[in-house]
Copies of this chain bind each other. A is one copy, B any other.
Amino acid sequence: MSDFPDPRTGGYSPRVSKPESALLDFAVDRSSPVPLYYQLAQQLEGAIEHGRLAPGSLLGNEIELAGRLGLSRPTVRQAIQSLVDKGLLVRRRGVGTQVVHSQVKRPLELSSLYDDLQAAGQSPATQVRRNEIQAASAEVAAALGVAEGSEVVLLERLRSTYGEPMAYLSNYIPPDLLNLDTAKLEATGLYRLMRAAGVTLHSAQQTVGARSATPDEGKLLAEDPGAALLTMRRTTYDDKGRAVEYGTHIYRASRYAFEFQLLVRS
């Protein structure tokens, strides 16, 4: 029962390779406050990302992996499960756990346009066009779960990259949630300010559609009237279920598209 690769083996099965010896490098630090399963998950994810674990390769069975790392099987399973949830690994009973064959791109998340653009190296610029208190319309009141006519903050921002407008963002925010400093809003994104103010974002309901630009919108975004715009309406909730933000945004379809990866619910 040798665990070593057979030097006489010259080829690989077409879609399944042998358990990878790259796993031998793994080790956990029991003195760290980071949970053991999380340490393992991060090392696995790193190995996959850097190609040390090739797509299609088998991880080796859970019992042996646990033994080698000095962990229990449930702990190892917890690490593996978190990567299965992310779509990086696939488990098959009777076969084993293997790295998915296709490249995983971006996971789907509650995206901040600011962060998206920054991650793409586009150094976004924000101009705050309005930042004031208004009476909530029926639509806004329904979305935020407040009384119609009660005070909400209206925030309108023009987001540009490379000196060209890209999107016009309109947000409605409960006034007691946080202080919206215009200077800070022009330096970073709304979600970052919310997180810094102790708001824990939890979920969002989104609708993505399209329509033609009105003359005013065309002027704002440097598009011809009638040009196609991408529209997004979003209500964001915190971990206690409070609506913390309602937004109606328009994007220049010539310069922006939503890109994301979905996992099938099992």
Q: Is the C-beta of A179 less than 8 angstroms from some C-beta in chain B? A: no
Q: Is the C-beta of A123 less than 8 angstroms from some C-beta in chain B? A: no
Q: Give A133 to B66 CA distance when docked, in angstroms.
A: 49
Given A56-B241, A209-B253, A210-B210, residue A104 in contact with residue B261 (CB < 8 A): no
A 226-266 binary contact with B (CB < 8 Å = 1; else 0): 11111100000101111100000000011011111111110
Q: Which of A67-100 contact B (CB under 8 A)?
A: 74, 85, 87, 90, 92, 100
Q: Is the C-beta of A47 less than 8 angstroms from some C-beta in chain B? A: no
Return the contact of A202 from the options B87, B237, B241 (Cβ within 8 A).
Answer: B87
CB-based contact B264/A201 at 8 Å: yes
* A265: chain B residues within 8 A (beta carbon): 107, 109-110
Q: Give A110 to B102 CA distance when docked, in angstroms.
A: 17
Q: Give A142 to B253 CA distance when docked, in angstroms.
A: 24
* A108: chain B residues within 8 A (beta carbon): 108, 262
CB-based contact B208/A257 at 8 Å: yes
A side interface size, CB within 8 A:
54
Q: Give A30 to B104 CA distance when docked, in angstroms.
A: 39
- When C-beta atoms are compared, the residue in chain B nearest to A86 turns out to be B265
CB-based contact A204/B262 at 8 Å: yes
Q: Show 13 A/B contacts (Cβ-Cβ < 8 Å), sorted by A.
A: A87-B203, A100-B237, A101-B242, A102-B241, A202-B264, A204-B262, A207-B258, A210-B253, A210-B257, A211-B228, A228-B228, A228-B253, A230-B230
Given contacts A205-B260, A205-B261, A209-B253, 12 further A-B contacts (CB under 8 A): A87-B202, A90-B240, A100-B241, A102-B243, A108-B108, A109-B262, A203-B262, A204-B264, A208-B208, A209-B256, A210-B228, A211-B228
